Amino acid sequence: MILVDTNIWIYAVNIDAPQHPASRKFIEAVIAGRFNGVITPQILLEFYAIITDKRRVERPLSPELALEQVKAIRTACLIVDAGSKALDRLTEILAEQPNLKGAKIFDAFIVAQMMAAGIKQICTYNIHDFKGYKGITAFTPEEFMAGWVP
């Protein structure tokens, strides 16, 4: 299983992004069932928030189109919801990283959800945000696809 981060979904939809072709290819492989891509509810919320915000994307989607995309993502991937176990893991992460603050909490919570669900890999363009978490490996779509053998 590999968690598909928000930015991969954003770039797969946003044809203006330089990361669009690789992200699209990766998502198509997930949809085709070539490997098991998963998401968390947080990923869906982040996707909707970003894709409808004109400050974040050049051509934001209407709420209706964004909801259609969310439904498509839900069809393409298993949704993993680690619930309170993820909050317990987040508490452990915060104890290990007492200087973690601000918006970094969102990536820490993604990691906590991954740990609670037994997911060890994440596909993202924000590789640096996931370094330093024991047991978690981050890949770009290009890196993952290059190392993946059907």
Render pLDDT for 106-136 as a digit per residue (tens, 0 to 9). 999 999 999 999 999 999 999 999 998 999 9
- Residue 68 CA to residue 74 CA, distance in Å, equals 10
Q: Is the dihedral of CA 16, 21, 25, 30 positive or negative?
A: negative
Specify whether the CB–CB gap between 40 and 110 falls below 8 A: yes
Nearest 5°: the CA angle 3, 107, 143 is: 45
pLDDT for residue 83 is more than 70: yes
Within 10 angstroms of residue 89's Cβ, the number of other Cβ atoms is 20
Report helix, strand or coil for 100: coil
Q: Between 118 and 16, where is the model more confident?
A: 118
* Residue 16 confidence class, pLDDT cut points 50, 70, 90: confident
Q: Average pLDDT, stretch 44-52?
A: 96
**pLDDT(150) > 80:** no
pTM: 0.92
**Domains (ranges, CATH) in the chain?**
2-143 (3.40.50.1010)
- Percent residues over pLDDT 70 in the chain: 98
Confidence of residue 38 (pLDDT cuts 50, 70, 90): very high
Give, for 77, the enclosing helix (H) or strand (E).
none
State yes or no: pLDDT of 80 exceeds 70: yes
Percent of the chain with pLDDT over 90: 83
Beta bridge partners of 143: none
State residue 27's pLDDT score.
95
Burial of 50 (0-12, 13-18, 19+ CB in 10 A): buried
Confidence of residue 147 (pLDDT cuts 50, 70, 90): confident
From edge to edge, which strands make up the β-sheet containing 121-123?
78-79, 37-39, 2-4, 121-123, 137-139
CA pair distance 113, 67, nearest whole angstrom: 23
